[in-house]
Amino acid sequence: MRSSNKSRSRNKNQNQNRRPTANVVNRVFDSSGPEGKVRGTPQQIIDKYQALARDAQLSGDRVAAENFLQHSEHYVRLLNEAMQEQNARREQQEAQQQQQQQQQQAQQRREAEARANADAQGSDQPDVAPSPLAAGDEDDSNLVETPESSNQPRKRKPRSRPSPAKSENPDNEAAPQPVHQDSAAK
């Protein structure tokens, strides 16, 4: 069954109150001009009316030319208004995107600084608090003392000197003496 005319007319009125300007540039209009209907996008209607105005002017009909120019002017205004709204929306979106990017960059910087601070604090180890076992008697504890737990610095061992060779004169062994023929003959 069909819905009543009353409800249909309500829907039409609601749509008329809401003026959609988002798609005016691409929307197809039906224009009732002096010489019949012209159908197309605002730019196409503008071009058609300007062509009709030029033809009327060339034929000497100034009234018709002015009428076509006025119809053309109406669609020029519509198109300009729609373009301005589109540009304003585009600028607003770009500003929002730029603001979001700045917020993201600031958040990333804060996170990086927090990580750097956490790393710096993590590398600087705090002084070790005395353990409750160390505070009491050490004789009572069953812990084995390790070199790391001792408070005194390690004593260095003295350097060992090279052990002397078998003969008392190490120079004799290092460089052999040439044998003289005269001493061997005697």
Residue-wise pLDDT for 140-164, tens only, equals 567 777 767 667 666 777 777 777 6
Number of domains in the chain: 1
What integer pLDDT is reported at residue 80 of this predicted model? 94
| Domain-located, residue 94 | yes
Reported pTM: 0.46
Res. 1 pLDDT band, cuts 50 70 90 = very low
Res. 56 pLDDT band, cuts 50 70 90 = very high
Res. 82 pLDDT band, cuts 50 70 90 = very high
Domain limits for position 69? 21-120
Distances (CA, A) of 171 to 90, 136, 164, 174, 177: 96, 62, 12, 5, 10
| Domain-located, residue 84 | yes
Is residue 95 predicted with pLDDT exceeding 60? yes
Distances (CA, A) of 133 to 31, 58, 143, 144: 97, 112, 9, 13
| Domain-located, residue 104 | yes
| Domain-located, residue 68 | yes
| Domain-located, residue 41 | yes
| Domain-located, residue 57 | yes
How far is it, in rounded angstroms, from Cα 158 to Cα 33? 115
Is residue 16 predicted with pLDDT exceeding 60? no
| Domain-located, residue 131 | no
